[in-house]
Amino acid sequence: MSAPLTILGTGMAGLGLARQLRIRDSERRITLITADSGDDYSKPLLSTGFAKQISPEKLVGRNALQVADELRAVVRTHTRVDAIDTQAAELVLGSERLAYGELVLATGAAPRPPFDIPDSLRGRAFTINDLDDYRAFHAALTALERPGRVAILGAGLVGCEYANDLRAGGHEVVMIAPENTPLIRLLPEPLGRVLGKAFLDIGIDMKLGRMIEALQGDDAGAALTLGDGQSLKADLVLIATGLMPRIELARQAGLEVSAEGIHTDRYLRTSAPGIYALGDGACVAGLNAMYVQPLQTSAKALAATLTDTPTPVRYGAWPILVKTPACPVVALPSRRTPARWRIEGEGSDLTALAEDEEGQLIGFALTGRSVRRKVELARAAPRLLV
Ligand SMILES: Cc1cc2nc3c(=O)[nH]c(=O)nc-3n(C[C@H](O)[C@H](O)[C@H](O)COP(=O)(O)OP(=O)(O)OC[C@H]3O[C@@H](n4cnc5c(N)ncnc54)[C@H](O)[C@@H]3O)c2cc1C
């Protein structure tokens, strides 16, 4: 019997691909391998649970057994792959070797804390990039048996969403980041200021434009010192300073990688024959998207390719909906630096149009009631190709 098609990773990319494959091929042997519990959950919901008082268990759509049953696949959980032997077409798992037919790397990205977390902060400092992380953070906050004070480091998408969600869930939040306005990668400053003001209005303590000088734990909690000399106390620290694609396995196996991810072409083929990549870990034709819509498009295209219909992936324009109800935000970032931003609107309802030298719309950002323009503007923006 030939070796199964093997998918490494059961996040939205790995499971999304397996589901698309099953639609097209009911017979193919599929093995999924994951270092985590293999629970099927929607990662974007992780930053909406505190406002709605949702327990981590409620976020699980299906457990690994149910997934295996649904997909008629072998699902190996809590199993870390240590290496890929491309010559033998085998995975190395400790002392075990597992043959693969085709191999798909859907290994995602890992949090990138800007410093080593001191031992004194064990149990008080967290990153959240999967359900297990969320369970740990949720348990620590619940154990306080009172509203907590959470210091969030980072003002990107994940930091902003948790700030809004934790505050809406009744917790005290202080947000600390070196940038002067939140969501700097998605919003030009005037729109960032609108979001920052909305956060202040709901009671989030904004400490932007400041670095962390020192961070340590004591019996009472976490003690933070900022670059301007201010000292802060918090029960817990949430480090939301970005993600780095997991490239180690691929790099060691000799595949082409960079800090942007595992390199693939538009067919999601890596530089090694028979090995593909998609999701947060993949850099597809020069772009690592790290959002759901691109990985869903990739899953569909790759399922077709793996069932004898070679299909290049094209993402199109995908507006990002930031889950900050205090101030709704939608953004379609441009791959190029805009020549200028044209800003329209009043108060918190702003539209920012990113234009190139010829005045062509190449991206946009919207706040407040202006988010209603997302469909109209997404249609007007040229297709963002990979
Ligand atoms: C809080 C939060 C909110 C978000 N909100 C949105 C949103 O609103 N909209 C949006 O578009 N995107 C959002 N995103 C991004 C989106 O969720 C991700 O792009 C997507 O979930 C990534 O899925 P993935 O399958 O590529 O990676 P992951 O979900 O990271 O899955 C990686 C898998 O690989 C496995 N793995 C890794 N290494 C190994 C190994 N060596 N051996 C075995 N298994 C391994 C892991 O165990 C895991 O199963 C959000 C992200 C976060 C963190």
Looking at the domain assignment, is residue 319 inside a domain?
Answer: no
Looking at the domain assignment, is residue 259 inside a domain?
Answer: yes
pLDDT of residue 382: 62
* Ligand 1 pocket residue status of 14, Cβ below 6 Å: yes
One domain, residues 34 and 67: yes
The protein residue with its alpha carbon nearest to ligand 1, atom 22, reads 280
One domain, residues 137 and 191: yes
**Ligand 1 centroid – CA 205 distance (Å):** 29
Question: Collapsing DSSP states into helix, strand and coil, what is residue 65?
Answer: helix
pLDDT of residue 114: 87
pLDDT of residue 383: 54
* Ligand 1 pocket residue status of 132, Cβ below 6 Å: no
Q: What is the CATH number of the domain that holds 134?
A: 3.50.50.60
The beta-carbon contacts of 190-195 under 8 Å, at least 24 apart in sequence, are 190/343, 190/350, 190/352, 191/329, 191/343, 191/350, 191/352, 191/365, 191/366, 191/367, 194/327, 194/348, 194/350, 194/367, 194/368, 195/160, 195/324, 195/326, 195/327, 195/329, 195/367
Contacts of 213 (CB under 8 A, 6+ apart): 225, 226, 227
* Ligand 1 pocket residue status of 249, Cβ below 6 Å: yes
pLDDT of residue 280: 98
* Distance from chain centroid for Cα 55: 20
Please give the tally of structural domains in the chain.
3
User: What tokens were used for 73?
Assistant: 């696949």
Looking at the domain assignment, is residue 314 inside a domain?
Answer: no
Q: What is the DSSP string of 1-24?
A: -PPPEEEE--SHHHHHHHHHHHHH
* Ligand 1 pocket residue status of 31, Cβ below 6 Å: no
Determine which helix (DSSP H) or strand (DSSP E) holds 344, and give its type and residue range: strand 340-346
**Ligand 1 centroid – CA 230 distance (Å):** 35
**Ligand 1 centroid – CA 326 distance (Å):** 25
Q: Which domain holds residue 142?
A: 113-239
Looking at the domain assignment, is residue 78 inside a domain?
Answer: yes
* Ligand 1 pocket residue status of 9, Cβ below 6 Å: yes
User: What tokens were used for 190?
Assistant: 């005037």
One domain, residues 208 and 355: no
Atom of ligand 1 nearest to the CA of 278: 26
Q: Ligand 1: which of 48, 107, 371 to mutate, most ligand atoms within 8 Å of CB?
A: 107
Distance, CA of 23 to CA of 71 (rounded, Å): 10
Question: Collapsing DSSP states into helix, strand and coil, what is residue 89?
Answer: coil
**Ligand 1 centroid – CA 218 distance (Å):** 32
Cα separation values, 33 from 15, 55, 104, 171, Å: 11, 26, 10, 37
**Ligand 1 centroid – CA 352 distance (Å):** 29
* Ligand 1 pocket residue status of 10, Cβ below 6 Å: yes
* Ligand 1 pocket residue status of 106, Cβ below 6 Å: yes
* Ligand 1 pocket residue status of 12, Cβ below 6 Å: yes
**Ligand 1 centroid – CA 357 distance (Å):** 36
Per-residue pLDDT of the chain (386 residues; tens, 9 = 90+): 789 999 999 999 999 999 999 999 999 999 999 999 999 999 999 999 999 999 999 999 999 999 999 999 999 999 999 999 999 999 999 999 999 999 999 999 999 898 888 899 999 999 999 999 999 999 999 999 999 999 999 999 999 999 999 999 999 999 999 999 999 999 999 999 999 999 999 999 999 999 999 999 988 899 999 999 999 999 999 999 999 999 999 999 999 999 999 999 999 999 999 999 999 999 999 999 999 999 999 999 999 999 999 999 998 888 999 999 999 999 999 888 899 999 999 999 999 999 999 988 999 999 999 999 999 998 887 654 44
Q: What is the CATH number of the domain that holds 373?
A: 3.30.390.120
How many Å is the Cα radius of gyration of the chain? 22
> Which residues are bridge partners to 7 per DSSP?
32, 104
One domain, residues 299 and 346: no
Which residue matches tokens 């890992």?
110
Task: Say what the pTM is.
Answer: 0.95
Cα separation values, 132 from 33, 35, 127, 139, Å: 16, 11, 10, 11
Cα separation values, 305 from 74, 105, 222, Å: 21, 15, 50
Kindly compute the dihedral angle of the four CA atoms of residues 24, 26, 28, 32, in this order, to the nearest 10 degrees: 90
Looking at the domain assignment, is residue 65 inside a domain?
Answer: yes
One domain, residues 211 and 101: no
Backbone φ and ψ for 280, nearest 5 degrees, come out as -60, -20
Q: DSSP class of residue 199?
A: H
Question: Collapsing DSSP states into helix, strand and coil, what is residue 289?
Answer: coil
